[in-house]
Amino acid sequence: MHQYKVFVTRQLPASLAPLEQIAEVEVWTEPQPPPHTLLMEQAIASDGLLCLLTDPIDSAMLSSATDLKVVSQMAVGYDNIDIETATHLGIPVGHTPGVLTNATADLTWALLMAAARRVVEGDRFTRSGQWNTWDPAGLLGLDLVGATLGIVGLGRIGTAVARRALGFDMHILYTSPNPKSPELEQELKARRVKLEELLAESDVVAVHTPLSPSTYHLFGDRQFQQMKSSAIFINTARGSIVDPAALHRALSTGAIAAAAIDVTDPEPIEVTNPLLTLKNLIITPHIGSASHATRKKMAQMAIANVIAGLKGERLPHCVNPDVYRQSVREER
């Protein structure tokens, strides 16, 4: 009988053996996320929670789970977790930054190139028997070499996306609350501008910010209207950064040329959603980090975070390090 109990909200692509050495581990083995009431019961009965972005970890749950010593999320984004409450209660929250940066940047580029050269449209065109001849004006797209790439949020993934753009001699503009170092700007040949300028100047706009109150619906009608009508919009960050009705209007009225998104609001997107009728939109089902090696590293990192949290050690990758400065922690 172990001292600790941990609930893991899905089967993971990594061994749980290191965790099982110190804790009794229960894994939710269904393909769908655990229902909220069950998750609540498990959180209350557990010392550690290893969760995914599909699990809402809200204030009521955290407040009721008086034995909970750590929440460890297998993702870099943590907008499904009430961080303020967790911090207030002295519960460290772990995440998995860095290990998924390249995989997500690669997927961003896969979408970018597919949209620029109309790969998905071309595939549908071919399969539906419309390919009758070589057409000098058929399925024309955008040349990326020499084009301007606007990166909204030049963090880990935004930077990796910009590095890949150097191979295409693209001009890089970016927005970020904090300026990046002159060395990084020089390496990327990147210039920090206001969002309005980025939208007006860019041939491709790629979003790489976290979802937060300041980025919720950052993209609405006004932002799409500020973009070039030939522009391509890419979102591999979080769906709610974009107003989906505004995206639909922008694509259907020709305010922008095309979009490619890996994330939607809500997720999963309903098959009846009008966005899915648009030819100039590519959608993938939130697979930014979905490579074999990356998902394994993410799971290992999440396991390491939960183990550290149970032992009362500092999490290797902690979202809310303020917990280590709070007296409330000692009071628990």
Task: State the residues that interact with ligand NAP by CB under 6 A.
Answer: 76-77, 97, 100-101, 104, 152-158, 175-178, 208-211, 214-215, 236-238, 262-263, 286, 288-289
User: Which among 234, 237, 239 is positioned nearest to 269, based on CA atoms?
Assistant: 239
By C-beta, is 48 or 158 nearer to ligand NAP?
Answer: 158
Q: Is-catalytic flag, 267? A: yes
Query: 2 catalytic, yes or no?
Result: no
**Whose Cβ is closer to ligand NAP: residue 9's or residue 102's?**
102
Helix (H) or strand (E) holding 48: strand 48-51
Out of 10, 208, 286, 317, the active site residue is: 286
User: Residue 187 catalytic?
Assistant: no
Are the C-beta atoms of residues 289 and 100 closer than 8 Å to each other? yes
Cβ at position 274, least distance to ligand NAP in Å: 22
Residue 214 and residue 154: Cα distance in Å, rounded? Answer: 16
- What's the closest the beta carbon of residue 226 comes to ligand NAP, in angstroms? 15
Alpha-carbon span 76 to 99, nearest angstrom: 9
Of 34 and 77, CB closest to ligand NAP: 77
* Contact (Cβ atoms closer than 8 angstroms) between residue 252 and residue 278: yes
Q: In what order do the strands lie in the sheet with 171-175?
A: 190-192, 171-175, 148-152, 204-207, 232-235, 258-261, 281-283
Tell me which of 20, 84, 267, 313 is the catalytic residue: 267
Instruction: Exactly one of 10, 238, 295, 317 is catalytic; name it.
Output: 238
Q: Are the C-beta atoms of 215 and 241 separated by less than 8 Å? A: yes
Residue with tokens 């460290």: 92
Query: In the complex, what is the shortest distance from the CB of residue 264 to ligand NAP, in angstroms, rounded to a whole number?
Result: 11
Nearest residue (beta carbon) to ligand NAP: 155
Give me the least distance between CB of 67 and ligand NAP, in Å please: 29
Contact 288, 100 (CB under 8 A): yes
Tell me whether residue 146 or residue 179 sits nearer to ligand NAP (CB atom).
179
Min CB(210)–ligand NAP separation in Å: 3
- Of 68 and 154, which has the nearer Cβ to ligand NAP? 154
Q: How far apart are CA 155 and CA 173, in angstroms?
A: 13
Report the catalytic residues: 238, 267, 286
